[in-house]
Amino acid sequence: MGEKADILTPNRMKRKRDNDLDDGYNTDKEALTLKKKAGRSKSRGTKTTSVIRKDALDSGPWTQNVESYKVICLGCKKTIKLNPKRPYETDHWDSHKEKCPQITGSRTVRTLKKARVNQVSITLYAYSH
């Protein structure tokens, strides 16, 4: 009854596996790594340090009063909160920079769409007594 699979090793207390047995549970780290790499849609890029991120925010033409978790937009004068989990993270700032009308130069015009009302004609008759 699968004697090799039931023998416990003294060091790790795990069952030995028969290498010829293919039960669908591949524990090979190299194969797992290749599978993970194949599943990625894009590369993550290089990691940046908080010093590099801070310098990038400080040198930006539209930023003022750069702090670790907030920055002021010189275009609209709003305080933009940065990621609370990572100091000087620029994702929120980059998102604002793409939408800010003063930075992009675009205007958003909102109009009220009037509802169409069915017109009903009512004829009034006057009776004289």
Q: Where are the domains of the chain?
A: 50-104
The residue among 7 and 124 whose pLDDT is bigger is 124
Buried b (16+ CB within 10 A) or exposed e, 39-58: eeeeeeeeeeeeeebbeebe
Q: What digits encode the pLDDT tens for the residues 20-76?
A: 555 555 556 676 677 666 666 666 677 888 889 899 888 989 988 999 899 999 989
Average pLDDT of the residues in 82-101: 89
Model pLDDT, residue 70: 92
CA angle 61, 65, 68 (to 5 degrees): 105
- Whole-model pTM above 0.85? no
Distance, in Å, from the CA atom of 100 to the CA atom of 52, rounded to the nearest integer, reads: 24
Whether 121 shows a pLDDT value over 80: the answer reads no
